[in-house]
Amino acid sequence: MPGDDAALAQMVDSLRAHLPKAGLDQGEMQQVGARLPASLVRQAKRRTGLSSNTDLLIVALANLALEDAFADAFEAAHGQLDPELDIGF
């Protein structure tokens, strides 16, 4: 999608940067093989800007493995905004 390239690149970089912080870049390397539809791999590479299958799988697995704390942060923010705040609705 046009205009999403910068945001997507930032997401990919962020996922890669969080691997060491989460201790997910340590230990022995493991080879993973899969038979995947070529169209799926092409589209994922196109969307991420990645060209290597290894990098693509690292980003895909990191996306699944890293904790997403959005729900917790959203719940913790409940009641934090002034009820009189005009958000345009």
Span 17-48, pLDDT tens digits: 888 988 888 889 999 999 999 999 999 999 88
- Under the banding of pLDDT at 50, 70 and 90, the label for residue 5 is confident
- Residues of the chain with pLDDT > 70: what percent? 94
User: Which distant-in-sequence residues (6+ apart) come within 8 Å of 62 by Cβ?
Assistant: 15, 16, 18, 19, 24
3-state secondary structure 16-81: HHHHHHCCCCCCCCCCCCCCCCHHHHHHHHHHHCCCCHHHHHHHHHHHHHCCCCHHHHHHHCCCCC
Q: Is the pTM of this model over 0.95?
A: no
- What is the overall mean pLDDT for the chain? 85
